[in-house]
Amino acid sequence: MITWAALHTMPVPNAVIFGPDNQPGELTYGAVRVLGEEDQLRALHRRLDAFFISQVAELAKSDEGPSKVYSPFPLFLMTCVGIETLGKVFFGRIPNQKDGKPIESPEDIQREGFLMVCNKLHKHFSRPLSKEQKNAHDELWGVGAQKNAQTPSQIIYRLGRHTMVHGYRGRGVFITEGISEWALETGAMLINPYWLWRSFSIVYKDLWERLHSNKEANNPLKKAALLYLHDLLN
């Protein structure tokens, strides 16, 4: 009899589809497990291209016209999923330790990765809020709330990503097509979900190009991606 604990720790079976091959056809988990590192990384790239980028792009507006399906809320949610995924792929790491014990939680590292990717979406996302913006945030959310909203990226993470994932609602980050990019107003963030997706897509492409072009053995992007693959395949 297979226990729940055994099922929980069992790796994905070899026969499960991992993603597309570099030729017509598909790769299974078993096939990817026996590939070399470089081929595994390219398989991961194709997997995310096919199973995430291509599918979510159907919700976004194309250069030629409107989106196929009007779905700004799902698009914003899936962009947040993409930001978090890129954070795990390119900026994941083993928790720091002290006396042989982790001093960070997986949530700490996950949040760090999300913020590192989010900061790349706009040059001001990593900048500290002004005194006026922090005061406006406190007026809206209560005294001391600004400690969790030091930058626009932190606002997206805490009041955008969290509330959409856990309740499918806006609570401090509101989506609109009335602005071209984003803005902070009266303690809240307004953001155009189509612009956010386009910015994410540019960063996604750039990070993969940087990983593939850097052949150094200590390439931090490659080390992080291999760590992600190890978790995915084992």
Task: Report d(CA 61, CA 43) in Å as an integer.
Answer: 27
* 141, pLDDT greater than 60: yes
Do 40 and 30 meet the contact criterion of CB atoms below 8 Å apart? Answer: no
Task: Report d(CA 140, CA 134) in Å as an integer.
Answer: 10
What does the pLDDT read at residue 143? 84
* pLDDT mean over 188-205: 96
* 137, pLDDT greater than 90: no
Residue 75 lies in a domain: yes
pLDDT tens digits for range 57-103: 999 976 667 778 899 999 999 999 999 999 999 999 988 888 878 88
Residue 2 lies in a domain: no
* pLDDT mean over 114-142: 93
**Whole domain around residue 205: which residue ranges?**
11-93+103-233
What does the pLDDT read at residue 9? 52
Residue 52 lies in a domain: yes
The whole-model pTM stands at: 0.91
What does the pLDDT read at residue 10? 56
Structurally, the chain folds into a number of domains equal to 1
pLDDT tens digits for range 145-195: 788 889 999 999 999 999 899 999 888 899 999 999 999 998 899 999 999
Task: Report d(CA 152, CA 144) in Å as an integer.
Answer: 16
Residue 130 lies in a domain: yes
Residue 1 lies in a domain: no
Residue 107 lies in a domain: yes
User: Following DSSP, what letter does each residue of 128-179 receive, concatenated?
Assistant: PPPHHHHHHHHHHH-TTGGGG-SSHHHHIIIIIIHHHHHHSS-SSEEE-SSS
* pLDDT mean over 25-35: 96
What does the pLDDT read at residue 6? 42
* pLDDT mean over 218-222: 94
* pLDDT mean over 195-203: 97
User: Taking all residues of the chain, what is their mean pLDDT, rounded to a whole number?
Assistant: 90
Task: Report d(CA 146, CA 138) in Å as an integer.
Answer: 6
Residue 160 lies in a domain: yes
* 3, pLDDT greater than 80: no
Residue 98 lies in a domain: no
